[in-house]
Amino acid sequence: MKPKLIVNTNRIIAALIKDSFSRNLLYHLEADFLGVGFSKKEVNKYKDYIIKKAKITEQEFENLLEKICSRIIFIDEELLKLYREEAKNIMLHIDPGDVVFIAAALAAGADIWSDDPHFTKQKKIKVWRTAELSNLL
């Protein structure tokens, strides 16, 4: 059975910056990749940084982002609201900024793909690190 994964924003940014395991996983792993609209806003907030770090043009950035996002199904914000309180109870004391990812995982019945160690401080949602997922390729 293929995994259902909420893609943390850091994995999208990593895939944009470098042709890495993260990009390879997004392109080739048999998985249902899910995301939150917040990630698109966050990526665009760091657009100039990503372009500079990746040494790519703005058009290359846009093309790459479009290709990556085509592999991700973005969850409706209204659905996330239904799980926000439960997600707050899980993540508020750990990292309030990541409540949305927990809410998405709860809404979709999915795991989370992130290399941020604070996600592992909660025990409700399974968290996959990039290295673990690369073993599934």
Q: Domain of 116: which CATH number?
A: 3.40.50.1010
102's enclosing H/E stretch is helix 99-108
65 within a domain of the structure (yes/no)? yes
Task: Confirm whether 59 is domain-assigned.
Answer: yes
84 in a domain, yes or no? no
Q: Give the Cα separation of 60 and 24 in Å (integer).
A: 17
What pLDDT is attached to residue 92? 85
97 φ, ψ to 5°? -70, -15
Residue 29 placed within a domain: yes
Count of domains for the chain: 1
Does residue 96 lie in a domain region?
Answer: no
Residue from 102, 105, 104, 129 nearest 116 by CA: 129
Q: What is the pLDDT of residues 40-95, one digit of tens each?
A: 899 999 999 999 999 999 999 999 999 999 999 999 999 999 999 999 999 989 99
Residue 117 domain-assigned? yes
Q: Is 56 part of any domain? A: yes
pLDDT for residue 1 is more than 80: no
Domain containing residue 118: 4-75+110-134
